[in-house]
Structure formats: structure tokens, C-alpha cells
């Protein structure tokens, strides 16, 4: 069975306990379920299916078992491994302080994007297969890059650091 990762929008330790989330994914019929960190990252085995089908199945199980749902963005683990091996930031000038982030989106924006987009110490570098590769530099204003991502891609997205993606792919 293929291995998948689900990245859930809006999960944090204060609104969802990882053991209950794991049980919801098991109730959906997924096998070898494990959560990674406390921010809504779940890895699991499932029969080969489209990511949209797996997302709907996970969301329905969360609603049933948790009484609420979190928007799920499912990717095959082998796709994540290829993404990590490809250096998605190739050609983008980033120094050691830049935080590399990946945003998973449900759909590409309807307006044509002229990338890169740079604003307030943040850059949206490129987009490929429903993944947006961005970076930001920490600054006193806080995570202002999130406003740029929301403005560009709307609400149907979730963001993780590249390091978190690597941890999830390794599980």
C-alpha cells in the first residue's frame, strides 16, 4: 500500500489532541497511522487513490470522530521525497537566516501570477503541482509572510517549514 501524508490546516495542540486525530484516521480505514509533531501532520498507508478522495475521506472521519474537521492536504510520501531531493529553491537567493516554507494549495489562483513576488522580507518563489515554495526572514513584525500567502492563495491552503516536510517524509 502506498504511504501518504496529510497536512491539516489550523491544527494545534490546544484544539486537537494527536491521539484522537490518529484514531480518526484509523477509523477512516487508514493503516500504520502516525502523527508527526503537534501541528496536524499525519502519515498513513492507504489503497492507491486520488489525493482528493483521500482528503475527503480524512475530513469525513475527523468530523465523525472529533466533531469537527480540519482541511486536509494529502500528498504521497514519494512525491514529498522527490520534492525535497529536487532543491525547490534552486536559483533563489536565500541566506542562512531565511526560513524556507512550503504551502499546499487546493487550486492554483485564477489570476496569472508573476513570480517571484517579494514583499516585507518574504518571497513567493515558485509554484509547482499544488505546492508553493516561499521564504521569509524573521523580523520584529512577526509572521507577515502569512498575509502575503493568504492574499495570493486565499484560505484553502496550509503552510509548513521545509524542515517539517522532511520530518514528515522520513516517517
pLDDT tens sequence across 24-77? 999 999 999 999 998 899 999 999 999 999 999 999 999 999 999 999 999 999
Q: In terms of Cα–Cα distance, which of 63, 61, 59, 127 is closest to 89?
A: 127
- Summarised one tens digit per residue, pLDDT across range 21-33 is 999 999 999 999 9
Enumerate the β-bridge partners of residue 136.
Answer: 99, 122
Q: In terms of Cα–Cα distance, which of 10, 5, 16 is closest to 156?
A: 10
How many residues are recorded in the chain?
A: 171
CB 4 within 8 A of CB 45: yes
The count of other CB atoms within 10 Å of the CB of residue 21 is 25
pTM: 0.93
pLDDT band at residue 87 using 50, 70 and 90 as cut-offs: confident
Amino acid at each position: 500500500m502506498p504511504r501518504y501524508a496529510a497536512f491539516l490546516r489550523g491544527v494545534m495542540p490546544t484544539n486537537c489532541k494527536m491521539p484522537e486525530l490518529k484514531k480518526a484516521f484509523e477509523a477512516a480505514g487508514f493503516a500504520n497511522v502516525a502523527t508527526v509533531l503537534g501541528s496536524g501532520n499525519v502519515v498513513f498507508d492507504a489503497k492507491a487513490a486520488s489525493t482528493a478522495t483521500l482528503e475527503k475521506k480524512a475530513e469525513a472521519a475527523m468530523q465523525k470522530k472529533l466533531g469537527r474537521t480540519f482541511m486536509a492536504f494529502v500528498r504521497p510520501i514519494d512525491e514529498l521525497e522527490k520534492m525535497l531531493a529536487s532543491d525547490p529553491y534552486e536559483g533563489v537567493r536565500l541566506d542562512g537566516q531565511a526560513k524556507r516554507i512550503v504551502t499546499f494549495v487546493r487550486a492554483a489562483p485564477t489570476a496569472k501570477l508573476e513570480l517571484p513576488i517579494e514583499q516585507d522580507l518574504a518571497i513567493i518563489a515558485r509554484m509547482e503541482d499544488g505546492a508553493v515554495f516561499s521564504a521569509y526572514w524573521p523580523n520584529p513584525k512577526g509572521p507577515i509572510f502569512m498575509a502575503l500567502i493568504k492574499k495570493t492563495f486565499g484560505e484553502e491552503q496550509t503552510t509548513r517549514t521545509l524542515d517539517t516536510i522532511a520530518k514528515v517524509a522520513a516517517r
